[in-house]
Amino acid sequence: MKPLALNLALALLALALFLASLAVGPAELGLSESVRGLFAGGGEAASIIMREIRLPRALLGLGIGFTLGLAGAVLQGFLRNPLAEPGIIGVSAMAAFGAVAVFYSGLAGAALYALPAGALAGALAAVLILMALAARNGSTLTLILAGVALSSLAGALTALVLNLSPNPFASYEIIFWLLGSLKDRSIEHVWLALPLMAAGWLLIALSARAIDALSLGEEAAASLGVHLGRTRFLIVAGVALGVGAATAVAGTIGFVGLVVPHLVRPLTTRMPSRLLLPAGLGGAALLLMADVAVRLVLPAGELNVGVLTALIGAPFFLWLVVRARREVF
Amino acid sequence: MRLAVENLDVSLSGRPVLHGVGLTLAPGEVVGLLGPNGAGKSTLMRALAGQIAASGTMRLGDDDLTALPPAARARLLAYLPQSRIIGWRLMVGDLVGLGRLPWRGFGARLRPHDTEIVSRALELMDVAHLAHRPATELSGGEQARVLAARAVAQDTPVLIADEPASGLDPAHQITMMRALRRLAGEDRAILVSLHDLTLAARWCDRVVMLKDGRLAAEGPPEAVMTAGNLASIYGVAAHITRDEGGLILAPTGLTEGGAP
């Protein structure tokens, strides 16, 4: 497929699902009513539902999905590893732990920004640790190993907090948050996360040439003029900003970053930089689709979107492992 | 552009690997880098390519090679690593196009000029007919030539190739050496490490022989690829004859005391 046609098709798909996300919800709003609610001012119910409930949710679905798809694609290219995903460098686990620590301290109820701030602090800590480790030894393998270790540590610390949590209700709230959801987010969440995610996208875009060269290994890439240290910084910082911000407002949403690059890669030339935009758009489409699905499947209880993406993602992951043995990437 | 290296010392993990190696490489010549395994050939090439830290002077033309920014260096010196890595199922044409990266602006596509250089590199390495095949599905020898074409596509005055002929069939070994000669004919300087003694003797203008990280012998093949040097450097006895194309060297056994 021609790159332009592919990007256009995926952008249209994401847009359609964005509109679908605006149209779906427990409140029975007609189409014209929704549109009027979105654009007309005033305090009527339709306007409040559209502007304060559905629009933030759809915007976050779009932005977070784009971030996760993009982050997955850039990490797979950078680490030359088809099993890489945003979680692999430990940023999402550390962000989740940061948020959980805020829950535990009881500050979460005190201010809207306390929870995201905790998550961002966790993501920042992850970046600092990764950079300190990776700066000493340049190889991407060090980065993967450090990320895996960091993920395990963050997971253990999160479990520790759950263990120590004062009452079952607090544990329940933490677990629910960890499952990842776009429900009941406000426009403030959008303003908090979107600029950080956009900054992450920019840093990742700057590494596009380098990840192409890295398909030939680190030595060949360096001989092509790629500055490996700078590339590593751009990618780790970009992924941390994007995924940290995403986790801060929506909890951990797994598998989008792993699955989407593999879904769109066969439609591209497989040049890592050519995968970035399609993977971002595909990620936005997939997350919006999942978020619409959770509202339609169980309208009353409402499944967490992170659960749904993991339910789809885990079998896909298994299939991927089987395929990877045949080396068809 | 002339490459001049003096007093090069390299240590890996604290262990000295190269000791005061000196080397010059002039435009138009193919220089063979010879020596037993572990003599420091790859280390020398990696140091020249700026992949590992080295002390000593390395000058390319009027520039201090170590002071050049990576992108500027990549426009002057191409390096073909010994490890042959192809990360994704890239098409051969796209892969060789990566050689144009140092010449492209941010996000820019290949211009007609780049495409022309890429197709010349493909033809030089006899892989033009594979341009639309996935590189991961080729034979080892074909992949080696495709990766060599990537380095050629960098279109640099200096090319450093680490064992480009290993794993190739006899015909393609000759194709590879002839391609390097042709590049030298375009006034480029070529440094190539080889294990095949006859290939080195017949296709290189000069050979540089390393042993234990030191320069052991240096000069035209006829002068330095002698029974004595082969015995002291490789620890082999060799049957040496010559025809109109140059020397023919066939190792026949180990010298007394075996490999050094």
Q: What is the ipTM of this complex?
A: 0.91
pLDDT of residue B195: 94
Supply the DSSP symbol for B64. Answer: E
Distance CA B17, CA B9 (A): 8
pLDDT of residue A224: 94
Is A220 within 8 Å of B150 when comparing Cβ atoms? yes
Q: What are phi and psi of A169, to 5 degrees?
A: -65, -40
* Predicted confidence (pLDDT) at residue A42 exceeds the cutoff of 70: no
B13 touches chain A (CB under 8 A): no
User: Which positions in chain A have a beta carbon within 8 angstroms of at least one beta carbon in chain B?
Assistant: 80, 208-209, 212-217, 219-220, 222-227, 269-272, 327-329
Token pair in block for residue B201: 């003797």
Closest CA to A154 of A117, A236, A99: A99
How many CB atoms neighbour CB B82 within 10 A?
15
pLDDT band, very low/low/confident/very high, at B236 (cuts 50, 70, 90):
very high
The DSSP line for B200-248 is HHHH-SEEEEEETTEEEEEE-HHHH--HHHHHHHT-EEEEEEEETTEEE
B51 touches chain A (CB under 8 A): yes
Distance CA B38, CA A33 (A): 77
Least confident interval from A53-57, A174-178, B176-180? A174-178
Q: Which residues of B touch A227 (CB under 8 A)?
A: 70
- Per-residue CA distances from A168 to A155, A156, A202, A285 (Å): 19, 19, 42, 36
B74 touches chain A (CB under 8 A): yes
- DSSP-assigned beta bridge partners for residue B214: B211
* Predicted confidence (pLDDT) at residue A328 exceeds the cutoff of 60: no
Q: Nearest CA of chain B to the CA of A238: how many Å?
A: 18
* Average pLDDT for chain B: 93
Is B95 within 8 Å of A208 when comparing Cβ atoms? no
**Length of chain A as a residue count:** 329
- Per-residue CA distances from A113 to A116, A124, A145, B67, B165 (Å): 6, 16, 32, 47, 61
pLDDT tens by residue, B39-71: 999 999 999 999 999 999 999 999 999 899 999
Domains and CATH numbers, chain A: 55-328 (1.10.3470.10)
Q: Which residues of B touch A268 (CB under 8 A)?
A: none
Residues A200/B64, Cβ–Cβ less than 8 Å: no
Pairing verdict, β B189-193 and B206-211: unpaired
